[in-house]
Amino acid sequence: MSTAPKVKRFVGKYELGRTIGEGTFAKVRFARNTQTGEPVAIKILAKEKVLKHKLVEQIEREIAIMKLIKHPNVVRLQEVMGSKSKIFIVLEYVTGGELFDKIVNHGRMAENEARRYFQQLVNAVDFCHSRGVYHRDLKLENLLLDEFGNLKVSDFGLSALSRQVRDDGLLHTTCGTPNYVAPEIATAHFTFPDWFSFGAKRLITRILDPNPLRRISITEIQEDEWFRKGYKPPIFDETYNNSSADIDAGFNNSKYHHVIEEEPAALNAFELVALCNGLNLGNLFDVEQDFKRETRFTSKCSATEIIRKIEEAAKPLGYDIQKKNYKMMLENMKAGRKGNLNVATEVFKVAPSLHMVEVRKAKGDTLEFQKFYKNLSTSLKDVVWLPEEDEQTHAPSFCGEKP
């Protein structure tokens, strides 16, 4: 008796596999990218349940936060898609299970192993805070391990963004798991097991100080002698660049993000043109845009003048400059969170008297790139050209000449 072949199911370019997790509002399925072969986890939410239980704001916040945090010790967001009835959140597939299970199954771990996990956790938390993101539910169940035993922070559903911090510098919403809340809810009376080293005891005592004014900061933790032992800085993979899926992609039926669950999605040439904002002349000066890795602007200056102006603007900011024809590589001589920031620029001729300039991050931290091009934009206001409909608002000048 022959068995009918199993029907393959697809969500966009992903082939769905087995269910690997299930909760009240979501199901997580293993999937594989049919273009690259990469395994992923897809969190599937029913729109009807999300709306019924008023979870839209929480899910949108979780997606927004995960788009900001691209760190080797944080589960990364690949993209977000939506169908008529479901929301699909495509996540990095982490195979090693929870740190909680590792401790339950194997018991006490060696101090060096525990220190390595703690170092990775502190690095991830520091990176989140630098982006104005506060997890607020860090616990063993939300710390996953990959196939190499590296820590991955997950579940940003209760996270807060810096705009939720009040004038006193604090968040005022109680949330999280009682056993993991901040130490100021109690007097912080505790004892240490005999096997704890002196350095570990000293650091933990400073971390669990119930007075937040005296409590050790993340920076001070990273400078502690016990923490620094065997420390290896995180290695950032520049291929971590996620898709440009909008935060609300899962909630609307935008043709750019809408998928039919049973067949791969595709974009036609007209949609590709619509998605390309390469000639969006205000990009460089849009201070509200989210963490982009590249931007473009146009200019009526000559290519030589544009290169000279960029060079003049970048040198005072501490950048070493290499030039070849109408391409430049700018390297910040001071290392940032992801090493030295490298910025590539290139001038393209669009018309006899019009050039387009591309400015993009080649290496380093995206947040630092944002700060760089905002500083750069201040110095290049007399270089950028805007079309007539924008001139009344922005009133730019051309190559140093007043309009």
User: What CATH number is associated with residue 287?
Assistant: 3.30.310.80
Do 206 and 89 share a structural domain?
Answer: no
Q: At which residue do the structure tokens 């788009």 appear? A: 67
Annotation marks residue 286 as catalytic: no
- 239 lies in some domain: no
β-bridge pairing 14-22 and 10-11:
antiparallel
| 132 lies in the same domain as 56 | no
Whether residue 104 sits in one domain with residue 224: yes
* CATH assignment at residue 47: 3.30.200.20
The answer to whether residue 265 sits within a structural domain is no
Question: What per-residue confidence (pLDDT) applies to 389?
Answer: 42
Question: Of 94, 116, 135, which one is at a domain's C-terminal end?
Answer: 94
The answer to whether position 238 is within a domain reads no
Residue ranges of the annotated binding site for ATP are 43
One domain for residues 121 and 188: yes
Query: Would you say residue 167 lies in a domain?
Result: yes
| pLDDT, one tens digit for every residue, the chain (403 residues) | 556 566 788 898 999 999 988 877 888 999 999 999 999 999 998 888 888 888 887 788 778 778 778 899 999 888 888 888 888 999 999 999 889 999 989 999 999 999 999 999 999 999 988 888 888 788 888 899 999 999 999 887 654 444 444 444 444 455 556 777 777 787 778 899 999 999 999 999 999 998 989 999 999 999 999 999 999 998 886 544 443 334 444 555 443 345 554 432 333 333 333 333 333 323 333 333 445 677 878 888 888 888 889 999 888 888 999 888 788 899 988 888 788 898 988 888 767 777 878 888 888 888 888 888 888 888 888 888 765 544 444 433 334 333 3
Cβ atoms of residues 355 and 284 within 8 Å: no
Q: Which of 137, 155, 224, 246 is catalytic?
A: 137
The total of structural domains in the chain comes to: 3
Residues 379 and 303 placed together within one structural domain of the fold = yes
One-letter-per-residue 3-state SS of the chain: CCCCCCCCCEECCEEEEEEEEECCCEEEEEEEECCCCCEEEEEEEEHHHHHHCCCHHHHHHHHHHHHHCCCCCECCEEEEEECCCEEEEEEECCCCCEHHHHHHHHCCCCHHHHHHHHHHHHHHHHHHHHCCEECCCCCHHHEEECCCCCEEECCCCCCEEHHHCCCCCCCCCCCCCHHHCCHHHCCCCCCCCCCCCHHHHHHHHHHCCCCCCCCCCHHHHHHCHHHHCCCCCCCCCHHHCCCCCCCCCCCCCCCCCECCCCCCCCCCHHHHHHHCCCCCCCHHHCCCCCCCCEEEEEECCCHHHHHHHHHHHHHHHCEEEEEECCEEEEEECCCEECECCEEEEEEEEEECCEEEEEEEEEECCHHHHHHHHHHHHHHCCCCCECCHHHHHHHCCCECCECC
Verify that 84 and 113 share a domain, yes or no. Answer: no
Q: Residues forming the annotated binding site? A: 43
Has residue 254 been placed in a domain? no
- Shared domain check, 182 and 214: yes
Residues 152 and 189 in one domain: yes
- Are 107 and 201 in the same domain? yes
Residue 241 lies in a domain: no
312 lies in some domain: yes
What domain range includes position 55? 10-94
Residues 218 and 103 in one domain: yes
How many CB atoms sit inside 10 A of residue 292's CB?
Answer: 15
Torsional sign, CA 85, 87, 93, 98: negative
Task: Looking at the structure, tell me whether residues 201 and 106 fall in a common domain.
Answer: yes
Residues 90 and 103 in one domain: no
Q: Are 93 and 40 in contact (CB under 8 A)?
A: yes
